[in-house]
Amino acid sequence: MLFTRRHILKTAAAVAILPVAAEAGYPPLKARLSRQRVAPDGFPDTTVWSYGDTVPGTIIKVDQGARVQRKLVNDLPQPTSVHWHGIRIDNAMDGVPGLTQDVVEPGGTFDYDFVVPDAGTYWYHAHNQSMEQVARGLYGPLIVAEATAPDVDQDLVLMLDDWRLNPETAQITDDFDNGHDLSHAGRIGNILTVNGSFDPAFAVRRNERLRLRLVNASNARIFDLDLDGLSGWIVALDGMPVETPLRLSGSFPLAPAQRADLIVDVVTEGETASLVSVERDGSFGLARFEVGGNAAGAHRHGVSALPSNPLPEIGNLQNARTHRMVLQGGAMRWLESARLGDTELSGRELAQLGKFWALNGYAERPEDPFLDAAVGSLHRIEFVNETAFPHAMHLHGHHFRLIMDDGSLGPWRDTVLVGRGQARQIALIADNPGNWLLHCHMLGHAASGMMSWFRVS
């Protein structure tokens, strides 16, 4: 870490959730350059790429079942598109250039128009040259409110990011094609932010109950998160409620693109509580909760599960078609060869083209889908990680259930972390017609080979 000093920010950077207002017309979503203070006080502002002039971009909050309409206006120097991560969306609105739409050229626009079937914590981000565009700040929260929201005093979105800034100028380094990053853990940064600020402060009161919507928007960093002075439960993962809230004890991982909704009580006896990133060389405070007095009323006990979303029934796994996706390559397990289109290339040739990884022998999105599924069919996919690095595998347009080691069905997710040398199985009902990406959400890995797709028809 280059930026390790603790600084007290003068302004709180809370993204507090306000009541849902009726959406007036088509508010434009302007992607353009802006400046903001990302590094600690004393450093210059950073030029970022953002939606609506802030990172995270403009919060989009709608009711479950509502229609979202946004006109993307591209005022960036690069073509772009927007992907609505975790939304079980109409395929034409999924925002994948070359698969579901054309890129939006600089000066161009695209009208996104879709319905959000599930309540929960989602996000949107650029999906063209994502490795660079997300690193520059093109992401924002998409919050879908439950018809009956849980009883909390504050509902806060906390978007975590990991920036790589030049330590003198505080500008984003443009080494996006760095072969070492691509072939190793990805673009790991040197400053951690919450809602685009270093060590922001949120005002709370003792005994208040908070809903914290954590989103990992970083390129490649797997956070190991812990709480200090807050106590509670995980109530949703990747937007979807867990059947039984999980009592928090000790740290928990949050891989790139994953979300966790927590309901926590402010239990500290001190002046601050905090969200902490646990690292090899100690713990690092990501955000502070400054206690200003006591909340009236007694500290509540227990929490109930969030209302469930209209997800499909998985049914009997015996009836599932089984598929294997092998994750290959990267440093220490270099590819011997893999395919680009019809051609089998050696690992050396691939490396020269900036390809270091492969999924089932393909070092880029293949011509034919990994899986051709009938609408409504049930699939068991086993991710076999033969590499020396963890990967966060994400499916578009669907959530799936983890299959636990004992064969039981685990939580619904849209992104699963597969540790090095590990195998993870998921159960998928392919019920959303269209062409859907399946890729590693370490964005440098996706750019350098870990990209595939499946078709539902």
List contacts with ligand C2O (CB under 6 A).
Answer: 83, 85, 125, 127, 257, 394, 396, 437, 439, 441
> What's the CA dihedral at 262, 264, 270, 273 to 10 degrees?
10
Phi, psi at 350, each rounded to 5°: -65, -45
Rounded to an integer, what distance in angstroms lies between the CA atom of residue 402 and that of residue 101? Answer: 30
User: Residue 184: which of ligand C2O, Cu ion, none does it interact with, CB under 5 to 8 A by kind?
Assistant: none
Position of minimal CB gap to ligand C2O: 85
Cβ burial of 315 (10 Å; 0-12, 13-18, 19+) is exposed
User: Residue 85: which of Cu ion, ligand C2O, none does it interact with, CB under 5 to 8 A by kind?
Assistant: ligand C2O
Interface with Cu ion in residues 406-445 (CB under 5 A): 440, 442, 445
User: Residue 83: which of Cu ion, ligand C2O, none does it interact with, CB under 5 to 8 A by kind?
Assistant: ligand C2O
182 binds Cu ion (CB under 5 A): no
Considering beta carbons, is residue 216 or 268 the nearer one to ligand C2O? 216
Among 184, 391, 394, 439, binds Cu ion (CB under 5 A): 391
Closest C-alpha among 222, 167, 181 to residue 416: 222
Q: What track of x and - describes contact with Cu ion for positions 333 through 372 (by CB under 5 A)?
A: ----------------------------------------
Phi, psi at 281, each rounded to 5°: -100, 30
* CB of 345 vs ligand C2O, minimal distance in Å: 25
Are residues 294 and 352 in contact, defined by beta-carbon separation less than 8 angstroms?
no
Are residues 29 and 72 in contact, defined by beta-carbon separation less than 8 angstroms?
yes
Indicate the DSSP class of residue 387.
S
User: Residue 445: which of Cu ion, ligand C2O, none does it interact with, CB under 5 to 8 A by kind?
Assistant: Cu ion
Considering beta carbons, is residue 391 or 398 the nearer one to Cu ion? 391
* CB of 290 vs ligand C2O, minimal distance in Å: 32
Considering beta carbons, is residue 88 or 439 the nearer one to ligand C2O? 439
Cβ burial of 451 (10 Å; 0-12, 13-18, 19+) is buried
User: Residue 257: which of Cu ion, ligand C2O, none does it interact with, CB under 5 to 8 A by kind?
Assistant: ligand C2O
Rounded to an integer, what distance in angstroms lies between the CA atom of residue 400 and that of residue 51? Answer: 29
Considering beta carbons, is residue 83 or 445 the nearer one to ligand C2O? 83
User: Residue 413: which of ligand C2O, Cu ion, none does it interact with, CB under 5 to 8 A by kind?
Assistant: none
184 binds Cu ion (CB under 5 A): no
User: Residue 439: which of ligand C2O, Cu ion, none does it interact with, CB under 5 to 8 A by kind?
Assistant: ligand C2O
User: 132: part of which helix (H) or strand (E)?
Assistant: helix 130-135
* CB of 440 vs Cu ion, minimal distance in Å: 3
Rounded to an integer, what distance in angstroms lies between the CA atom of residue 445 and that of residue 453? Answer: 15
Considering beta carbons, is residue 125 or 445 the nearer one to Cu ion? 445
Contacts of 220 by beta carbon, 8 Å cutoff, 6+ apart: 162, 181, 185, 186, 187, 188, 256, 442, 443, 444, 445
Rounded to an integer, what distance in angstroms lies between the CA atom of residue 46 and that of residue 37? Answer: 6
Considering beta carbons, is residue 380 or 439 the nearer one to ligand C2O? 439
User: Residue 437: which of ligand C2O, Cu ion, none does it interact with, CB under 5 to 8 A by kind?
Assistant: ligand C2O
Phi, psi at 300, each rounded to 5°: -80, 155
Pairing of strands 82-85, 120-126: antiparallel
Rounded to an integer, what distance in angstroms lies between the CA atom of residue 438 and that of residue 359? Answer: 10
* CB of 391 vs Cu ion, minimal distance in Å: 3
Q: What track of x and - describes contact with Cu ion for positions 100 through 129 (by CB under 5 A)?
A: ------------------------------
Interface residues toward Cu ion, by CB under 5 A: 391, 440, 442, 445
